[in-house]
Chains A and B, each alone.
Chain A
Amino acid sequence: MGEGIYNAALMEHNAHPDYKYEMENPTHTHEGVNPSCGDDIILSLRVVDGIVEEAAFTGSGCAVSQASADIMADLITEEPVEEVKRLCELFLAMIRGEACEEELEDLGEAAELKSIALMPARVKCAELGWRTALTIIEEEL
């Protein structure tokens, strides 16, 4: 019996998220919701001089949505906004099956979520944190 998307990395991020906490002085905060399943993420970023100095989230939802958001927060911390945008778009492209293997190296641990593409019903869960980050970048930055 396989573990599928529920590999050790995902289960670890779900059980012990490093970036799931209330940020003290965010410059940007946005809530992302998947109404059909109740996944809810409030993503906060502290952007200084075009660099994401801190990323954190609160909220509730399934293991996939929460772990994926934690993995994303880890990846984008201390990255320039333009790079964060590129990584988020790359992640979404990966989920759609449109990214090539070489590019995926840039996503680090997040590349392990690639197989979510085989579970169409769960794609929205994996995407939630990344879409929320893109919304902040596109609407507020």
Chain B
Amino acid sequence: MTASTTRWFPNSMPAPIVDHHTLPWWQACAEHKLTAQRCTHCNHAQIPPAPICSECHGNSFEMTELSGKGTLYTYTAVYQPIAMEQTLPFFIAIVELDVSGTSCANSVRLMTNMVDCEESELQIGKPVQVAWESMSQYVSIPRFRFC
């Protein structure tokens, strides 16, 4: 596990609520590995992981590690706190993740946060990369920053 100590969000942020299928994705996050669930039959990639592949209905998967690079797809600056001692505004973003160098057949997007930037710097299409925030020994959250 990376010994990163940078914090952007308080502990009072909602923690992940997981089921049998999504837990492996969050467990990989705890090790600072950004993954996609890849169907071993047709290579379709999906986040969050699901019981079956939405394309071929196969149920054999591998968690494929991604580069952590991507581009900003859309964003919003939120001015309402949803946790105590939260810095406002905070930025919810969707990032289109780079799957080059993997066997994934498609790129896949992730809902996340942009950090280490001003609202005026947010621009759709700009390259970003993952920035891990360790909330506890169990939970790390993949945020993103501009490259």
Do A and B interact? Answer: no
